[in-house]
Amino acid sequence: MPSYPGRVSATRAEGNALPLHYDWGMNAILTESTLTCPECGQASTEAMPTDACQWFYDCRHCGALLKPKPGDCCVFCSWGDVPCPPVQAGGGGACCTGAA
């Protein structure tokens, strides 16, 4: 289980105000995200594919089918605490939809 990135980005202690996920995004792509189900409120940590976006996710607690919110590229960006790997690498949601 990897540590949560936002709290361990001390590799660059320059005191800048960049969002933490950009700070570590250059070095490490997180491949796990904790999805919080909007139906039942339960969270589960799931592995993310690194080369594609996942549009659908079945909640393992209540079975709800999660889909991305409008404007988000995948369920991890909408419901997870870590955005999907392409977004981590490139910033913004340019990984698969082309939508700005």
The site for Zn ion (CB under 5 A) is made up of: 37, 39-40, 59, 61-62, 64
In a 13 Å sphere around the CA of 30, the CA atoms on its Cβ side amount to 28
Give the phi and the psi of residue 24 in degrees, each rounded to 5.
-95, -10
Residue 52 to residue 74: CA distance in whole angstroms: 9
Nearer to Zn ion, 12 or 61 (CB): 61
State the minimum distance, in angstroms, from the CB of residue 18 to Zn ion: 33
Nearer to Zn ion, 38 or 71 (CB): 38
Query: How many of the other CB atoms lie within 10 Å of CB of 98?
Result: 8
Nearer to Zn ion, 5 or 80 (CB): 80
Nearer to Zn ion, 28 or 40 (CB): 40
In a 13 Å sphere around the CA of 80, the CA atoms on its Cβ side amount to 29
Residue 91 to residue 83: CA distance in whole angstroms: 9
State the minimum distance, in angstroms, from the CB of residue 88 to Zn ion: 25
State the minimum distance, in angstroms, from the CB of residue 62 to Zn ion: 3
State the minimum distance, in angstroms, from the CB of residue 95 to Zn ion: 25
